[in-house]
Amino acid sequence: MTEEWRSVVGYEGLYEVSSLGSVRTLGRRADNERGNRNGRQAVRGRLLSPSGPRYLRVTLTKDGLSKRLMVHQLVLETFVGLRPAGMVARHFPNRDVTDNRAANLRWGTPTENQADRVAHGTSGYGRGNPHRTPAETEAAIRRDYGSIEGRYTRGRMTQRTLAQKYGVSLACVNRILRGGQGCLS
């Protein structure tokens, strides 16, 4: 597949995005109050390094305002079109959220996106959750309730740590520790 570059929607003349998911800044002269005497400085064109804990993001600047934008949304808006109302970005056919090629991205309904997650086995309720259904997750939490409560009350684990370990929300752990009803069904 050949790489095709197009201007980022809303940032024409400043940034381009490729069909393979790369983002670059274009060489230009930009205003800079700390720059040389005439207040303009040369900006060299270069590839941007996306980063993020899960979805890759880049920072784009226009008229002195910086915005952190998700790469997959830039690719979709540039190569497919602006997001239709009620649609979300889908990584399909594979669920690799770092695969931002135009061929792997689609606009779809939230229902379609959830169906993809179930089909690919990535529909866990929280990161790192080994359980695939709410009933399995709740059963595991209830099974381990005594050990959770014991470790928490002795101050060895925070509620946030428990939520991450069991792949549930902080509110869910809080409800379980207070003896409340299940929070996943």
Please indicate, yes or no, whether residues 55 and 115 belong to a single structural domain of this protein.
Answer: yes
pLDDT in tens, 129-154: 554 566 666 556 555 555 555 555 55
Domain membership flag for residue 47: yes
* 36-67 burial code (b ≥16 CB/10 A, e <16): eeeeeeeeeeeebebeeeeebbbebeeeeeee
How confident is the prediction for the chain on average, in pLDDT? 77
Please indicate, yes or no, whether residues 26 and 95 belong to a single structural domain of this protein.
Answer: yes
Domain that holds residue 142: 134-177
Distance CA 28, CA 144 (A): 59
Domain membership flag for residue 138: yes
Domain membership flag for residue 87: yes
pLDDT in tens, 44-87: 789 999 988 788 999 999 988 999 999 999 999 999 999 999 99
